[in-house]
């Protein structure tokens, strides 16, 4: 610490570049070490990157707080949140220190590391200046006074709220256990009784105050014994084809939105702590205007006018139906076992062709096979379940295994009633599916189609929120990849694409195999394993599903048949 003080005193009043003297150095404090990994070039550049490392001989986190992946991720998340709250209080005075803090989800992130040897926090510090002149004494206050206080309050086990920490850890562990049990119970999703599903607004993901607690229908209620909480009850969503029906504003989409976020764990008090989904679930929608390269659309779309071959479909401007067909087949290619759809964001002509339209436009003139005629074969042939919000097309009653009606935010099992209605009021439509789903063809991505360079930079990457990834000179639109929830996931996907291009896109590996290679790195080495900068503090874990979705939306991608 004394060395750091001397440097900051000496450079006080010098040009901003004098701060570079700190870069790469380690400064020893009485109970932690401070590493200066990256120093900003000017006051307006992204903030400087520091690491705080506390030996476990001092931090003293018990082994049971990081003994399993669930507990480790939960503890890291808890400590990051605690540090972030304290840093905000410091920043109210100086506006200098921050960490990459989470939202409602508990996801592995690179911000904090905990193991048997140390606890490490990766922080961002805006080094102070007046104009372009170093404010060395203010920097001393930040680095030598405020940071030690943050460390003492949030990174030493003796000073944190132990009860809150263990509640956080155990909630994560129970949710992971519940998710791992879904397959054995014949379920693809679960919603615990008492859950609060509505959110405050489209920009505030906290639970709605006064939200109606979820209560499962008796016929779908299941019991599960969790390792920490013990026995809980809730609605199990069976594998197969499930419809969520009901009037407008009664909670259909709210339930589906909770399920699509059930791939993640949530913090205690979120209301969705035990709303869990199969970890491979993918939200599907129409996406007019997206590019599609090399997808075999033949299960849904036959030869198009002009002789366009849909067995290796290529377009830079997909329609609603072709984009939705592509999204489904790409999800299957990536290994998804559950598809989530909301009719509000689907292409109508892709979802259904009723009897009257079949009579007016004969099948030989209609290349689209609607989803209603493929959804059962999708489950029968591939074991892929579908959960579908449907308020306007009762034709799906014929193909559904389970029908859940939402009435005033309360679910009811109306499967028997829906089947009786289907019997009494037959649609008269002709099944156009032909009995089998068809093939899901693997594709091979070529490295030549992933250009990460720009100008003199071999790798140029930039994440702009959760909606846009800039890689090289190309901008990938992720607006409709709805299960990305943090900026850090987008940045991490960018790094993964660069790693995949150099190491795994060899002209032999399929897209799924490339994604699985990246997944293997993440499992073995964590997010540091894909980072192009040392000790990143702002990367967040993603699934291979989102990796594939980003790669598929790269307009310059080149594909060959697998």
Q: What CATH number has the domain bearing residue 233?
A: 3.40.50
Residue 171 lies in a domain: no
Domain boundary among 402, 418, 441: 441
Residue 317 lies in a domain: yes
Regarding whether 253 and 144 lie in a shared domain, the answer is no
Say whether pLDDT at 557 is over 70. Answer: yes
Regarding whether 281 and 261 lie in a shared domain, the answer is yes
CB–CB of 13/136 below 8 Å? yes
Average pLDDT over residues 197-215: 95
In this prediction, residue 303 carries a pLDDT of 83
Residues whose CB falls within 8 Å of the CB of residue 83, separated by 6 or more in sequence, listed in order: 99, 112, 121, 123, 150, 154, 155
Between 368 and 309, name the one with better pLDDT.
368
> pLDDT tens across 487-531, in order?
999 999 999 999 999 999 999 999 999 999 999 999 999 999 999
- Tokens found for residue 180: 């791992």
Regarding whether 396 and 464 lie in a shared domain, the answer is no
Q: How far is the C-alpha of 145 from the C-alpha of 29, rounded, in Å?
A: 11
Report CA 373 to chain centroid distance, whole Å.
Answer: 30
Q: How many alpha carbons fall within 13 Å on the CB side of residue 464? A: 11
* Helical H segments across 187-244, by residue range: none
Report CA 109 to chain centroid distance, whole Å.
Answer: 12
Q: How many CB atoms lie within 10 A of CB 71?
A: 21
Residue 176 lies in a domain: no
Report CA 47 to chain centroid distance, whole Å.
Answer: 26
Regarding whether 359 and 232 lie in a shared domain, the answer is yes
Q: How many alpha carbons fall within 13 Å on the CB side of residue 152? A: 9
Regarding whether 346 and 263 lie in a shared domain, the answer is yes
Residues whose CB falls within 8 Å of the CB of residue 444, separated by 6 or more in sequence, listed in order: 507, 508, 509, 510, 511, 559, 560, 561, 562
Say whether pLDDT at 408 is over 70. Answer: yes
CB–CB of 405/357 below 8 Å? no
In this prediction, residue 89 carries a pLDDT of 83
Regarding whether 253 and 346 lie in a shared domain, the answer is yes
What share of the chain has pLDDT > 70, as a percent?
Answer: 99
Regarding whether 327 and 193 lie in a shared domain, the answer is yes
> How many domains are there within the chain?
3
> pLDDT tens across 352-394, in order?
999 999 999 999 999 999 999 999 999 999 999 999 999 989 9
Residue 30 lies in a domain: yes
Alpha-carbon separation of residue 441 from 281, 296, 324, 376, 497 (angstroms): 19, 7, 17, 19, 22
- Tokens found for residue 172: 């994560």
> pLDDT tens across 250-291, in order?
999 999 999 999 999 999 999 999 999 999 999 999 999 999
Say whether pLDDT at 30 is over 90. Answer: yes
Say whether pLDDT at 82 is over 70. Answer: yes
Say whether pLDDT at 95 is over 80. Answer: no
Say whether pLDDT at 479 is over 90. Answer: yes
Report CA 250 to chain centroid distance, whole Å.
Answer: 26
CB–CB of 22/14 below 8 Å? no
> pLDDT tens across 218-261, in order?
999 999 999 999 999 999 999 999 999 999 989 999 999 999 99
Domain boundary among 441, 469, 494: 441
Domain boundary among 441, 464, 495: 441
In this prediction, residue 96 carries a pLDDT of 84
Q: Which domain holds residue 241?
A: 181-441
Report CA 238 to chain centroid distance, whole Å.
Answer: 23
Backbone dihedral region for residue 443 (phi beyond 0: left; psi -120 to 50: alpha; all else: beta): beta
pLDDT band at 306 (very low <50, low <70, confident <90, very high): confident
Residue 167 lies in a domain: no
Regarding whether 535 and 386 lie in a shared domain, the answer is no
- Tokens found for residue 343: 């009719």
Residue 367 DSSP symbol: -
Regarding whether 153 and 186 lie in a shared domain, the answer is no
The H-or-E segment that residue 476 falls in is strand 474-477
Q: How far is the C-alpha of 108 from the C-alpha of 522, rounded, in Å?
A: 10
Which neighbouring-strand residues pair with 461?
471
> 310-334 burial string, b = 16+ CB within 10 Å, else e?
bebbebeebbbbbbbbbbbbbbbbb
pLDDT band at 92 (very low <50, low <70, confident <90, very high): low
User: What value does the mean pLDDT of the chain take?
Assistant: 96
Regarding whether 421 and 492 lie in a shared domain, the answer is no
* Helical H segments across 368-429, by residue range: 375-382, 415-424
Is 372 strand, coil or helix?
Answer: helix
CB–CB of 132/43 below 8 Å? yes
Q: How far is the C-alpha of 377 from the C-alpha of 281, rounded, in Å?
A: 18
Residue 513 DSSP symbol: H
Q: How far is the C-alpha of 41 from the C-alpha of 103, rounded, in Å?
A: 30
Regarding whether 401 and 492 lie in a shared domain, the answer is no
Average pLDDT over residues 464-476: 97
Say whether pLDDT at 146 is over 90. Answer: yes
Residue 307 lies in a domain: yes
Report CA 283 to chain centroid distance, whole Å.
Answer: 11
In this prediction, residue 562 carries a pLDDT of 79
In this prediction, residue 101 carries a pLDDT of 86
Q: How far is the C-alpha of 270 from the C-alpha of 274, rounded, in Å?
A: 10
In this prediction, residue 1 carries a pLDDT of 80
Q: How many CB atoms lie within 10 A of CB 292?
A: 24
Regarding whether 400 and 279 lie in a shared domain, the answer is yes
């Amino acid at each position: 610490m004394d060395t750091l003080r001397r440097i900051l005193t000496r450079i006080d009043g010098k040009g901003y570049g004098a701060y570079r003297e700190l870069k790469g150095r380690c400064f020893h404090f009485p109970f932690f070490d401070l590493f200066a990994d990256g120093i900003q070039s000017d006051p307006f550049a992204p903030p400087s990157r520091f690491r705080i490392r506390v030996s476990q001989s001092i931090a003293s986190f018990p082994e049971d707080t990081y003994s399993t992946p669930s507990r480790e991720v939960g503890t890291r998340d808890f400590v990051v949140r605690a540090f972030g709250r304290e840093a905000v209080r410091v920043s109210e005075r100086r506006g200098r220190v921050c960490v990459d803090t989470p939202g409602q989800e508990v996801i592995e992130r690179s911000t904090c590391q905990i193991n048997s040897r140390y606890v490490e926090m990766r922080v961002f510090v805006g080094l102070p200046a007046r104009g372009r002149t170093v404010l060395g004494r203010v920097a001393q206050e930040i680095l030598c006074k405020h940071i030690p206080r943050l460390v003492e309050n949030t990174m030493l086990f003796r000073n944190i709220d132990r009860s809150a920490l263990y509640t956080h850890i155990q909630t994560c562990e129970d949710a992971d256990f519940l998710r791992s049990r879904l397959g054995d119970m014949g379920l693809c999703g679960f919603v615990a009784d008492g859950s609060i599903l509505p959110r405050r607004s489209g920009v505030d993901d906290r639970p709605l105050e006064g939200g109606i607690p979820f209560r499962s229908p008796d016929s779908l209620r299941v019991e599960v014994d969790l390792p920490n909480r013990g026995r809980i009850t809730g609605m199990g969503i069976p594998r197969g084809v499930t419809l969520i029906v009901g009037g407008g504003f009664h909670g259909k989409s709210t339930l589906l939105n909770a399920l699509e976020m059930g791939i993640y764990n949530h913090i205690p008090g979120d209301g969705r702590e035990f709303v869990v989904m199969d970890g491979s679930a993918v939200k599907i929608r129409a996406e007019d205007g997206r590019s599609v390269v090399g997808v075999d659309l033949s299960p849904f779309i036959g030869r198009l006018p002009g002789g366009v071959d849909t067995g290796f479909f290529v377009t830079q401007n997909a329609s609603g139906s072709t984009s939705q067909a592509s999204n489904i087949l790409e999800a299957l290619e990536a290994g998804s076992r559950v598809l989530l759809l909301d009719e509000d964001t689907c292409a109508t002509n892709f979802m259904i062709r009723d009897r009257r339209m079949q009579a007016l436009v004969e099948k030989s003139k209609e290349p689209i096979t609607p989803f209603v005629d493929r959804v059962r074969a999708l489950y029968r042939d591939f074991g892929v379940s579908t959960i579908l919000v449907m308020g306007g097309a009762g034709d799906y009653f014929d193909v559904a295994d389970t029908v859940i009606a939402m009435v005033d935010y309360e679910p009811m099992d109306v499967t028997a009633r829906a089947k009786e209605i289907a019997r009494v009021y037959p649609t008269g439509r002709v099944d156009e599916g032909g009995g089998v789903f068809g093939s899901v063809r693997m594709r091979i991505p070529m490295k030549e189609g992933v250009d990460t360079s720009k100008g003199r930079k071999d790798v140029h990457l930039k994440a702009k929120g959760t909606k846009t990834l800039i890689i090289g000179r190309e901008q990938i639109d992720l607006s409709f990849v709805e299960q990305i929830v943090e900026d850090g996931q987008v940045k991490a996907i960018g790094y993964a694409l660069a790693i995949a291009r150099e190491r795994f896109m060899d002209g032999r590996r399929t897209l799924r195999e490339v994604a699985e290679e990246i997944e293997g790195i993440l499992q073995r080495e964590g997010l540091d394993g894909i980072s192009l900068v040392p000790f990143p503090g702002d990367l967040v874990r993603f699934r291979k599903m989102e990796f594939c979705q980003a790669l598929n939306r790269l307009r310059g991608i080149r594909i060959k048949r697998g």
